[in-house]
Amino acid sequence: MELLHNLALGLGVAISLQNLTYALLGCMVGTLIGVLPGIGPVATIAMLLPITFHLPPTASLIMLAGIYYGAQYGGSTTSILVNLPGEASSVVTCLDGYQMARNGRAGAALSISAVGSFFAGTVGTILIVLFAQPLTLMAQKFGPADYCSLMALGLIAAIVLASGSVTKAIAMVFLGLLFGLVGTDVNTGAQRYTFDIPELSDGIDFAPIAMGLFGIAEIVVNLERHLTRTGAIKVTSLWPTREEIRRAIPAVLRGTMLGSILGVLPGGGPTLGAFSAYTLEKKLSKTPKMFGKGAVEGVASPEAANNAAAQTSFIPMLTLGIPSNAVMALMVGAMIIQGIQPGPEVMTKKPDLFWGMIVSMWIGNAMLVIINLPMIGMWVKLLTVPYRFLAPAILLFCCIGAYSLQNSTFHVMQVGIFGVLGYIFVRLGCEGAPFLLGLVLGPQMEEYFRRAMLLSRGDPMIFLERPISLGLLIATAALLVLMALPSVKKAREEAFQEEG
């Protein structure tokens, strides 16, 4: 059994002391930022990118992954106890979780969400194991034209499923692609948009852009808003009643299934999974009136869904090298910083990294249940730290981190510049995620485009003649046409309005 052999290899890597430590560290940081409102996994991972530069590749990816799914766990804690979603994906958990807590069932809500999340995370990890190999084998048959079309589909799908204006998001992708071009052209060695600044000849570094756009801009926006804190509800017993368990189990199963599917889709991920799961539960329920008043299903299903989606969103990134959301784009960035080109080769060339990371995700999920349940009191205390202490500290770590990339203050200045740009994006309602996806995929996409055109002797028909490429392009076009249909447009707007 090759699969078992691979898992054994992964287990060997994941339980080394170093990797266990980083998995734990990632989970702790993830829980921490999940608990703290006003700082999410995207900003945190962006800000920690420079640190991963100094770590071995496997350890750094294990840690970043831990932050991502740790945040899903931590976010639910504050949703339930304080009615403050620490994370976008736990906004729905507030609806029924906080009501359960007010009815004196805080402990039950917490344990159901933690155990449900653990179950969903386990299923998600199994799905990654099952799908990784076939998808990778398929991807290895891809030619340059197919890859180019696949990336186009990934980019467009990510936009369609994200909220906000589609046209603006597409423009943001192109802007990201353009920023990705800065530096020395690989084929000819010509300098593009470097303005004779030597630091730019290797391209704009990914980390300062991500830190500025997501880290700094987020801090500034939070400083403008007034973050108020309310007292947390005391937790008494963690044990749910038999009735609660009976109602939670099918909900967790449904949430896991829905979340797993939505996580794989480009642009999907935890938030979409959680919202869809909640809507589904409400529709299926015999007592929809209970929702919003402390329905167990309203906590169990979205919590399972967001965690399952967090796991399965790794599938396209690990097998195809296509990030499906901003966090995955950052993971791709982290791999590139380590000198690993994400894509189907990762599995064959670096099996220890690939399988080690997958197994460590499962271990991390188990750790999170332990971190979360007995230590809830400690996490809740952290909520009382005022933002005016946090903001300067986060800024400082950003700056030192940026400097440490290459011991150059140029990177610090870049963080500042992209912070301003990120702030402008926020104010104009332009989303950063499509920009980041374009930035990450830009250089590769240009490579594949140029190679495909060279192979076809300059005939763009190659994109339509190859069956794989044609299929992918038809899917892309279909998505775009679908978006333009008035009825779909309206439904999409309504769906996202519910979120806001």
Interface residues with another protein (CB under 8 A) are 54, 165, 167-168, 170-171, 174-175, 177-178, 181, 185, 187-188, 190, 192-193, 195, 216, 219-220, 223-224, 226, 387-389, 391-393, 395-396, 399-400, 403-404, 407, 409, 412-413, 415-416, 419-420, 423-424, 427-430, 446, 449-450, 453-454, 457-460
Q: How far is the CB of 333 from another protein (least distance, A)?
A: 20
User: What is the C-alpha separation between 483 and 159, in angstroms, rounded?
Assistant: 10
Nearest to 314 by CA among 305, 303, 301, 327: 327
Q: Which of 131, 174 has the CB closer to another protein?
A: 174
Q: Which of 181, 238 has the CB closer to another protein?
A: 181
Q: Which of 141, 226 has the CB closer to another protein?
A: 226
Dihedrals phi, psi of 180, to nearest 5 degrees: -70, -20
Q: How far is the CB of 325 from another protein (least distance, A)?
A: 21
Q: Which of 400, 488 has the CB closer to another protein?
A: 400
Q: Which of 39, 415 has the CB closer to another protein?
A: 415
User: What is the C-alpha separation between 270 and 277, in angstroms, rounded?
Assistant: 10
Q: How far is the CB of 175 from another protein (least distance, A)?
A: 6
Q: Which of 413, 485 has the CB closer to another protein?
A: 413
User: What is the C-alpha separation between 242 and 2, in angstroms, rounded?
Assistant: 41
Q: How far is the CB of 388 from another protein (least distance, A)?
A: 4
Q: Which of 131, 496 has the CB closer to another protein?
A: 496
Q: How far is the CB of 446 from another protein (least distance, A)?
A: 5
Q: Which of 308, 394 has the CB closer to another protein?
A: 394
Residue with tokens 């009615």: 83
User: What is the C-alpha separation between 399 and 292, in angstroms, rounded?
Assistant: 43
- Tokens read off for 310: 């967090």
User: What is the C-alpha separation between 451 and 37, in angstroms, rounded?
Assistant: 46
Q: Which amino acid is at 368?
A: L
Q: How far is the CB of 170 from another protein (least distance, A)?
A: 6
Q: Which of 182, 310 has the CB closer to another protein?
A: 182
Q: What is the DSSP letter of 193?
A: S
Nearest to 161 by CA among 271, 85, 46: 271
- Tokens read off for 14: 């994941």
Q: How far is the CB of 447 from another protein (least distance, A)?
A: 10
SS (H, E, C) 110-173: HHHHHHHHHHHHHHHHHHHHHHHHHHHHHHHCCCHHHHHHHHHHHHHHHHHHCCCCHHHHHHHH
Sign of CA dihedral 467, 129, 338, 206: positive
Q: How far is the CB of 54 from another protein (least distance, A)?
A: 7
Q: Which of 429, 467 has the CB closer to another protein?
A: 429
Nearest to 260 by CA among 312, 301, 299: 312
478: three-class secondary structure by DSSP: helix
User: What is the C-alpha separation between 134 and 119, in angstroms, rounded?
Assistant: 24
User: What is the C-alpha separation between 304 and 328, in angstroms, rounded?
Assistant: 20
- Tokens read off for 248: 């939670």
Q: How far is the CB of 427 from another protein (least distance, A)?
A: 6
Residue 490's CB: how many other CB atoms inside 10 A?
10
User: What is the C-alpha separation between 279 and 494, in angstroms, rounded?
Assistant: 13
Q: How far is the CB of 226 from another protein (least distance, A)?
A: 7
Q: Which of 193, 239 has the CB closer to another protein?
A: 193
Residue with tokens 């015999």: 286
Question: 104: left (phi > 0), else alpha (psi -120 to 50), else beta?
Answer: left
Q: How far is the CB of 310 from another protein (least distance, A)?
A: 29
